[in-house]
Structure 1
Amino acid sequence: MSFSPSFLSTVVDRLRAAGCVFAEDEARLLIDTARTPDDLAAMVDRRVAGLPLEHVLGWAEFCGLRVAVDPGVFVPRRRTEFLVRRAAALARPGAVVVDLCCGSGALGAALAAMLGAAEAHTADIDAVEVHACDVDPAAVACARRNLAAIGGRAYEGDLYDPLPATLRGRVDVLLANVPYVPTEEVALLPAEARDHEARVALDGGADGLDVLRRVTAEARDWLAPGGVLLSETSDRQAPSALAALAGGGLSAQVANCDETDATVVIGMAG
């Protein structure tokens, strides 16, 4: 659809009044996405009411991909692109990838794209095998849509429980973007996350590392020899996160990205 400059200005003014810092950019995205004027009006109303932009649009940009994100589903953060880039640097063609606590499936889809999954389905090269799981049914529905083009599978359940037993000892890359916000700090999160994303995707327990400890406790059973586990955490939590990986029998290291303030812990199976 095309609208007059005055109409665009009206949308921008409404968004800015609602506190949207990048009101001009958001207005253009809403206008480009809306199918009809009524659709646009409803989308602007939802954004002004505080719904995350990605939930209003129905998608988020992540690692150059447009990832489907339904209301209530965790929105992939730009800083997490660092985790995917680190995973791509460690992976091989034809890797078996598991995305735990997958949310929308953005990490698995992005890693597969970086490793050439789309090309592999139409050429004589090894295809990346992607499996994802989450306890949130809404997240799993999104992940299934986002992984369909590469033949990925998404399962509903707690951590490793829903994964096919045939994956034991075969996983080359285990992406575990687990919730790592300490319980008492969830209330301090921006309202867009606190009020509109599933708490199970945010709350990591007393020190924020409860889920990571559960992941590392079983990781060696699922990883192939030389397989790697990557998980995002905070810089403050990194020493304890490294200890959790080492406690699970993994060789552990930390990687940081100053540009995006991202911290990733990496564990390798012997």
Structure 2
Amino acid sequence: MSASPSLHSLSVIVATLRAAGCVFAEDEAQLLVSTARTPADLTAMVDRRVAGLPLEHVLGWADFCGLRIAVDPGVFVPRPRTEFLIGQAAALARPGAVVVDLCCGSGAVGAALAAAEDRVELHAVDIDPVAVRCARRNLAAVGGHVYEGDLYAPLSAALRGRVDVLVASAPYVPTDAIGLLPPEARIHEPRVALDGGADGLDIVRRVIAEAPLWLAPEGHLLVETSERQAAQTVEAVARAGLIPRVAGSDELDATAVIGTWSAPAANAPDTRRPSAR
């Protein structure tokens, strides 16, 4: 049962949130009111939001692709721009596709793809145990398998050469730019989910380099990146032997680099090898 404060109380909540710097104070106030179970719960939630916790951590969930995704404290909050990546991946998936979501965080990407396409075989990986626990909750209903570990390391060797859609919303913020992020991100989200190294592409390059080993013939790798980093990402995709293309959305300020694995001819040796870590 949600709390139902008077209009005056709601206006006080809006004013309190606005004074704390919440740009969308009215919308946030409505979400807090509808989510709180009791007036005391509502007061505590407003206090946590005013203290700077991300709204999604206060609510315990994020709205992503029309789904309510559980987001525990300390877990990366799925971004609206990543919905563009979902649209691109869903267009390439087919019923029964084998889907791997690397750097899965809360499992939002896998959950959205499972909702968009029937009967996918879903595997998700994250290095953060807190994120893994959260992802398991979000993906249990769709039969997703969630593993804790470094990128491909915890995946079964049986998946090699079988993955139809490999999607990665890996960290791509340059280390020196972490301090420029909003406090909600740099203070309350794990650095491992944000920091992509000197140019932001350290993890992305590792994802790309090993992708051919795992992709099925005509399988697709989709990597979220920034418009500024797209050219370097395309180079890495081409260097790995995939056929690259770039897709973007001005509306969502989103960029994705997509690489397609063209299988070797039947009589040609398969030269795919695991990359050195």
The TM-score with structure 2 as length reference comes to 0.93
The answer for the alignment partner of 2:103 in structure 1 is: 101
* Whole-Å separation in 1 of the counterparts to 2:25 and 2:227: 31
1:126-154 deviations in Å (ceiling 9; x for gaps): x1111101000111111101101110011
The counterpart of 1:245, out of the listed 215, 237, 246, is 237
The answer for the alignment partner of 1:225 in structure 2 is: 217
The answer for the alignment partner of 1:62 in structure 2 is: 64
The residue type paired with residue 251 of structure 1 is: I
Question: SS of the counterpart of 1:78?
Answer: coil
The counterpart of 1:200, out of the listed 175, 178, 192, is 192
1:144-177 deviations in Å (ceiling 9; x for gaps): 0110111001110000011122111110000111
The counterpart of 1:190, out of the listed 174, 182, 193, is 182
* Whole-Å separation in 2 of the counterparts to 1:164 and 1:54: 33
1:27-59 deviations in Å (ceiling 9; x for gaps): 110111111111111110000000000000000
* Whole-Å separation in 2 of the counterparts to 1:4 and 1:217: 57
* Whole-Å separation in 1 of the counterparts to 2:196 and 2:130: 20
The answer for the alignment partner of 1:179 in structure 2 is: 171
CA RMSD of aligned residues (A): 0.7
1:163-208 deviations in Å (ceiling 9; x for gaps): 1221111100001111000110111111111111000000000111
The answer for the alignment partner of 2:148 in structure 1 is: 156
Contact 2:132 2:146 in 1 (8 A): yes
The TM-score with structure 1 as length reference comes to 0.95
The counterpart of 1:130, out of the listed 122, 128, 134, is 122
* Whole-Å separation in 2 of the counterparts to 1:56 and 1:165: 39
Contact 2:5 2:39 in 1 (8 A): no
1:96-130 deviations in Å (ceiling 9; x for gaps): 000000000100110110113xxxxxxxxxx1111
The residue type paired with residue 229 of structure 2 is: Q
1:62-109 deviations in Å (ceiling 9; x for gaps): 000000001111100001100000001111111000000000010011
**Residue 203 of structure 2 corresponds to residue 211 of structure 1:** yes
Question: 1:16, CA displacement in angstroms?
Answer: 0.7
The residue type paired with residue 253 of structure 1 is: R
Identity of aligned residues (%): 72
The answer for the alignment partner of 1:11 in structure 2 is: 13
The answer for the alignment partner of 1:32 in structure 2 is: 34
**Residue 103 of structure 2 corresponds to residue 110 of structure 1:** no
* Whole-Å separation in 2 of the counterparts to 1:197 and 1:243: 30
* Whole-Å separation in 1 of the counterparts to 2:68 and 2:166: 22
Question: 1:247, CA displacement in angstroms?
Answer: 1.2
Q: Hey, which bits of structure 1, 4+ residues long, moved more than 3 A?
A: none
Question: 1:249, CA displacement in angstroms?
Answer: 1.1
The residue type paired with residue 110 of structure 2 is: G
The residue type paired with residue 145 of structure 1 is: R
* Whole-Å separation in 2 of the counterparts to 1:250 and 1:28: 46
